[in-house]
Amino acid sequence: MDRIAAFIDGSDYSASVCDYAVWAAGKLSMPVSLVHVIGRRGSDTMPADLSGNLRLGARTALLDKLSALDAERATLLRERGRVILEDAAERMAAASPAEVSQKLRFGDLIESMEELEGETRFAILGKRGVSAGFAADLLGSNLDRAVRGAKRPVLVANRAFKVPEKFVFAYDGGPSADRALERMLAGSILTGLACEIVGVGMATPHLRDKLSHAAAALDRAGYVVTEHLETGEPEAVISKLVTDLNADLLVLGKSGHSRLRDFFIGSTTMELMRTCKVPVVIFP
């Protein structure tokens, strides 16, 4: 069965992830899997360097204590994960009759997304994580890896939930934008919302025709569409339009044709996530 996978970690973004999951469940008429991933701990938590100067008996005793501490910590992390999931499930139950299941996973966020891919129609992530290290990773390489590897649409949630009414769709006429368009026409969480479709580049007849064709197709599918053809740096132009048009979401294909391709290469992706204060929906 197709499900919405909502990944939560107990951070300030978890409430927003839950609220967007409730909204998405209503739009798609789908159950939700609440997923909490207990990540692997780095070797920096193990003071192994201290044991090298100890007598054998003392070193063995220390390693026994460290092993017991690790076991206790693992137990606490599992308990914490269950509490996070239960609290989130209660929040969602109070807002929606949607079926909600809880999944406690171990390992890596990207691995967990891949393992659940077969049952996932749509994934939701918070922009940042619960700890400083996790936050830095998620807004950097981890988020980029998650989006690059995702074979399902992903919504990257901001801190505060707002029921979406309008979105900006960055459309450049390339293959990725056309795939995103096809998914939107087939039915998605965006169906019925006002759409500000934006092309950024030279106003060539080809781009104008592609933009008008896409806008007309969305209009026939039930979207309320307004066209924009702009020149300039894509990330700057689109970020400004998201603000000026009071959009609730930014919608992108995973990679683009021409310069929009840079959204998902290197630091430009993260800059777009930082500058746009609204959630971003990425179609593969």
Q: Give pLDDT tens digits for 64-106.
A: 777 788 778 888 889 999 999 999 999 999 998 889 999 999 8
Q: Domain residue spans in the chain?
A: 3-41+76-157, 166-279
Is it true that 3-41+76-157 and 166-279 share their CATH fold? yes
Task: Please tell me the predicted confidence (pLDDT) of residue 56.
Answer: 54
State phi, psi for 71 to the nearest 5 degrees. Answer: -65, -40
The average pLDDT across 13-38 equals: 94
Q: Answer yes or no: is pLDDT of 274 > 50.
A: yes
pLDDT at 271: 65
CB-CB contact of 7 with 152 (8 Å): no
CATH class of 166-279: alpha beta
- The pLDDT score that the predictor gives to residue 46 is 43
Rounded Cα distance between 4 and 154, Å, is 10
Q: What is the mean pLDDT of the chain?
A: 82
Predicted pLDDT at 67: 76
Say what percent of the chain tops pLDDT 90: 47
What residues contact 127, with CB distance under 8 A and at least 6 apart?
13, 138, 139, 143, 156, 157, 158, 159, 273
How far is Cα 225 from Cα 236, in angstroms, rounded to an integer?
22
Model confidence at 45, pLDDT cuts 50, 70, 90, reads: very low
Interacting residues of 238 by C-beta distance below 8 A, sequence separation 6+: 168, 170, 198, 200, 250, 272
Please count the other Cβ atoms lying within 10 Å of the Cβ belonging to residue 177. Answer: 27
- Given a cut of 50, is residue 44 above it in pLDDT? no
Whether residue 264 is predicted with pLDDT greater than 70 in this model: the reply is no
Check residues 165 and 136 and name the one with the higher pLDDT.
165
- Tell which wins on pLDDT, 45 or 270: 270
- Return d(Cα 98, Cα 256) in angstroms, integer: 35
What's the whole-number mean pLDDT along residues 205-221? Answer: 93
Where does the pLDDT of residue 115 fall: very low under 50, low under 70, confident under 90, or very high at 90 and above? very high
More confident of the two residues 28 and 262: 28
Mean pLDDT calculated for residue range 151-172: 92
| Residue 190 near residue 251, CB atoms below 8 Å | yes
pLDDT value at residue 139: 47
Predicted TM-score (pTM) above 0.85:
no
CATH number for the domain running over 3-41+76-157 = 3.40.50.620
C-alpha distances (whole Å) from 114 to each of 20, 42, 76 are 21, 22, 26
pLDDT-derived band at 142 (thresholds 50, 70, 90) equals low
